[in-house]
Each structure stands twice: as C-alpha cells, then as structure tokens.
Copies of this chain bind each other. A is one copy, B any other.
Amino acid sequence: MELIINPADELPIYRQIMRQITEAIAVGRLKSGEKLKSHRDLSEELVIAPLTVKKAYDELEALGFIETQRGRGTFVCTAPPRLDPVEQRDKIQQAARSFLSQAYLAGLRYTEVVKILKDADRELTAGAPSRKEKETA
C-alpha cells in the first residue's frame, strides 16, 4: 500500500491520506481485516508530521473504515460504514456533475467520457478480488 502525498495540493495532507485509503478499500486493494502501517512508520515513510497521519487514522476510525486495537495495531474494518443513503446519493450526483463538467471543458463528448469511465473501472478492479454485487440499500 503505497501512498503519494503532495504538500502543495490544496487538499490537506491528512485528507489526501484518507482519500487514498478509502479508495483502496472501495476497490478491494485493502481487504477487510488487513493491517495498516503504524501512524509513526507511515509518517516517516511520507516525511510528514506523525500527528498528521494520526489525524487521518482518527477520522477514518470515526467514520468506521478502520479500527485500532490497543497494542496490536490498526486494521481495516470488516463491515464497511453506511452513511445516510440520501445524503450519499446527493454527493455522488454532485461528483458526477463536477466530473462531467471537467471533461466537457477539456473538449470531450459524453460517449468519450463513458469510455474513459469504463477504462478506469477496469483499471481499478484489476488485481482486486472480484467484487460481489451489493444491495444498494
């Protein structure tokens, strides 16, 4: 699990960490129960302050993605968190609009966008355990 952080990015560093970990979980690159690096090791590896990594872990734990076991380490939760479905839906729709607009600004047409999305799906799912269909609940 390699992370890439960019100190100049407008997204805070702890958010960059959170995003990459949740994406890895979403896609199956990080599996349920898998152990994460300690926040101290990770901070050394990324050359950032330990508190910054800890903040990311704390927030991820508060959101239900990971859990810490005193003395043993930090692990990916078995049960992925379920947020408010309505709110969730709104955020996804907004993300879709943003993504589309960005693509349109680049001069792409709708069919091309779909193609890119399909490629991204293939790339993300590659190497990951074949996802099981989940209820949209």
Contact = CB atoms under 8 A, between A and B. Distances in A.
B112 A97 contact: no
A80 B92 contact: no
B134 A117 contact: no
Interface residues of A, number: 56
A70 to B, nearest CB: 7
A93 B119 contact: yes
Interface of A: 7-8, 12, 19, 22-23, 25-27, 59, 62, 67-70, 72, 80, 82-83, 88-89, 91-93, 95-110, 112-114, 116-117, 119-121, 123-124, 131, 133-137
Q: Shortest 10 CB-CB distances between A and B: which pairs?
A: A96-B120, A23-B101, A26-B105, A26-B104, A26-B101, A62-B62, A99-B99, A7-B69, A97-B120, A88-B106
